[in-house]
Amino acid sequence: MSRKNWVVLILMLVAGAGIFAFSLRNTDLHQLSIDLANLNWGWFSVAVLCICLYLGLEGVVTKLFMADRYPDFSWKNTMRVPLVEQLFNGITPFSTGGQPAQLVAMLQAGVDGGRASSVLLMKFVVFQGMIVINFIISMLIGFHYIATKLQALSLLVVFGFVIHLSVIVALLLVMYWHSFTKRATNLLLRPVRWFVKENRYQNWQRVLDERIDSFYQESLKMRQEYGKLAKVSVVTLVQLAFYYLIPYFILLALGVQNLNVVMIVSLNVLIFMITSLFPIPGGTGGAEYSFTVLFASLITSNAKLVLAMLLWRILTYYFGMFAGMVALVLKPDPVKPYE
């Protein structure tokens, strides 16, 4: 990582510690220590297993896309890609660093840049599509609850849905209306010319056109591989299910009774959508706040609520970041050039 990335990582860890401390300001620390001592480590281990399966299944998705392009793309390389993504998602606003980090990880293994970009774009399309599907279902189940709890959060949920849906529509336009998409993006890029030098503007336009062309060519191939897309979609749905189940097992570990697993999963889907809107890396602040607001009625003890939030945040945010730091120092296995 660059020095700038290290600085951001340290700042995010400090910010996270500050938010944790702020969350504990009105909490009975003695009761919290009792709840932690009585934690059911069996159920908590299941929550840990869920985050491991979430990351592992993203590696499976990468392997499925790479199988016919680079058959010797090892499982070590495969698992390194999503872990590096987790690290850079966690230290960049709106998780924008994850895609470039995955690309660099694949280039380090010797994968052709164009093919690596296409694979990552197809992964992104499927992932976004499955998020939207999960989100629609969760809105039908849990939106009435969030709307009654806090109107501001319900507005964020709707806004998040519009953004994710817009991303899917834009990607589908590239896949099925290529020429129109190029004209539209070049038109939208035109105001940038007023603020940058002409050579930089031309370079950005060229790179954008190349990315659109590359994605379109890859999409032509993928549209003929219905079996592979079906497999990737199913794996991604299962992957997201494991992520969304994490709060359920954390609450079980804390001894919370009468839990509705469908409602808890739906609320976590909504939190995922809300968090993605916060510009601070990792949605820091927004994630913690959303969790405590939405799960407050399910956990009567304030100490348990705060402890549940801390454990959930450690697993869903910090676990992936530290795993990514380990993956980053691992040397990738070189692959044979694509023929």
Q: Global pTM? A: 0.85
CA atoms within 13 A on the CB side of 1: 23
Q: What is the pLDDT of residues 16-38, one digit of tens each?
A: 888 888 888 888 888 889 999 99
DSSP one-letter code for 317: I
Domain definitions of the chain by residue range: 3-329
Distance CA 325, CA 244 (A): 24
Handedness of CA 259, 260, 263, 269 (dihedral sign): positive
**Could you tell me if 158 and 143 are in contact, meaning their C-beta atoms sit under 8 angstroms apart?**
no
How many degrees, rounded to 5, is the angle at CA 286 between CA 282 and CA 287?
Answer: 65
Question: How much of the chain exceeds pLDDT 90, in percent?
Answer: 25
Distance CA 53, CA 59 (A): 10
Two structure tokens written together for 29: 């620390």
Q: Give the pLDDT band of residue 147 (cuts 50, 70, 90).
A: low
Q: What is the pLDDT of residues 157-192, one digit of tens each?
A: 777 778 777 877 877 777 777 677 777 777 777 777
Which is more confidently placed, 277 or 210? 210
Length, in residues, of the chain? 339
SS3 content of the chain, % helix, strand, coil (to 5): 80, 0, 20
pLDDT value at position 55? 94
